[in-house]
Amino acid sequence: MDGKVVASNSHRACCKVALRQRNLMLHWVSSGRWVASRGYEVWQSNDSGLSWDKRGTLRTGWANWVSRYPFAAQVGRLGVQNLICLSSGTLLGVADGVLYRCAENAGFVPVFSEFRGRRPLRSGICQDHLGQIYLAEYWLNQERGAVRLWKSNDDGMSWSPVYTWPAGTIRHIHFVQFDPYEETVWVGTGDDDSECQIAYSRDGGASFEAIGSGSQIWRAVSVLFTPQAVYWGTDIELYSDDQPNYVVRWERSSNRLQKVLRTDGPAYYSAQTQDALVVGTAVEVPWNRESKYVHLYWSKDHRVWHSARLWRKWPLPGVCGPATITFPSSPGPLPCLLLNANLVLSRHNGSLFEVSF
């Protein structure tokens, strides 16, 4: 379904989805600068997405050609997977297990490939208030080897491990994000109960203090920060003993965890606009217990939450990947809600949308 949304919980609300740009993955939004990708090509807009110019290409050849088709890129995990803009103006992008760097008025240059896996997850790379950059390792890691958090202090030119989880303690890192309110760096890990943890660091990643661990409620792929609390949607997969998923709230002052509402599937990514907190669900293999559709959940007052059903997942085997909703990163709240729909049964699969509530 395109351009139409069906409310799906007791708090029924109007949600309008408008197509902004076909076949364009938006990664970064800041004042006057939007950065996106199409396959291995990087595109930039200086007028809030009205016009786009190609900034560079990370890889050429057959892979670049195939990756221009959203369905092929999503199934094959091709193209740019991570793309952020640093405070210096430098762009960092990850594709096929390589981190590329693009300084102002220069092209993309490969600078780092020692991390495990083909890429971090979407919320697996960030910059803190001091300009330090963090990259979280994510790969299947079925053997449960050691997992590292990498750090750069020189605008992404060189990297070294700042923290290592010993072998057998976690499977991989789901996210690394900067909390602007307490100026801390947060990580989330998974996947089994004993491996799930959400923790923060006050010393630039040298040590971490967990706010909770040991169960699927602490399994998150991204978090949302407010002055009073931290929110996330749980990422409890299809075969985790039929446990439901929730949007949860952790209160800073009391260390209290609250289940805010039950969701129609695991949540991967989330976003904050100037007037709302937003969580998007994914559909895994072959579909969620609760729904075959990706959903949006949002709240404008941080108390009452609304939901809307969006698109159905392509009916494909799990090896092809989940249907997801992704949001761009930003140094602050987004001016409006912008999202991409991936591996969904729509002629606009892989396109950029703007949502209004």
Identify which of 259, 349, 351, 354 has the alpha carbon closest to the alpha carbon of residue 305: 259
Task: Write out the residue range of the structural domain in which residue 137 sits.
Answer: 82-121+124-220
Per-position b or e across 230-260, b if 16+ CB within 10 A of its CB = bbbbbbbbbebeeeebbbbbbebeeeebeeb
Strands 41-45 and 33-38: antiparallel
Count CA atoms within 13 Å of residue 336 on its CB side.
Answer: 15
Radius of gyration of the chain (CA): 19
Domain presence at residue 316: no
pTM score > 0.85 for this model? yes
Residue 21 has what pLDDT? 95
Residue 330 has what pLDDT? 96
Domain presence at residue 32: no
Domain presence at residue 188: yes
Domain presence at residue 246: no
Domain presence at residue 129: yes
Q: Is 213 helix (H, G, I), strand (E, B) or coil?
A: strand
- CATH number of the domain within which 92 lies: 2.120.10.10
Domain presence at residue 207: yes
Residue 255 has what pLDDT? 96
357 residues of the chain, pLDDT tens digit each = 333 333 334 354 578 999 999 999 999 999 889 999 999 999 999 999 999 999 999 987 888 888 888 888 898 889 999 999 999 999 999 999 999 999 988 899 999 999 999 999 999 999 999 999 999 999 999 999 999 999 999 999 999 999 999 999 999 999 999 999 999 999 999 999 999 999 999 999 999 999 999 999 999 999 999 999 999 999 997 555 578 999 999 999 999 999 999 999 999 999 999 999 999 999 987 656 668 999 999 999 999 999 999 999 988 877 788 999 999 999 999 999 999 999 999 999 999 999 998
Domain presence at residue 296: no
All residues at 6 or more sequence positions from 214 whose CB lies less than 8 Å from its CB, including other chains: 193, 194, 196, 197
The total domain count for the chain is 1
Rounded to whole angstroms, what are the CA distances from 313 to 288, 290, 342? 10, 13, 9
What's the CA gap between 45 and 21, in Å, rounded?
A: 12
What's the CA gap between 100 and 305, in Å, rounded?
A: 39
Domain presence at residue 131: yes
Residue 320 has what pLDDT? 84
Q: Is 73 helix (H, G, I), strand (E, B) or coil?
A: helix
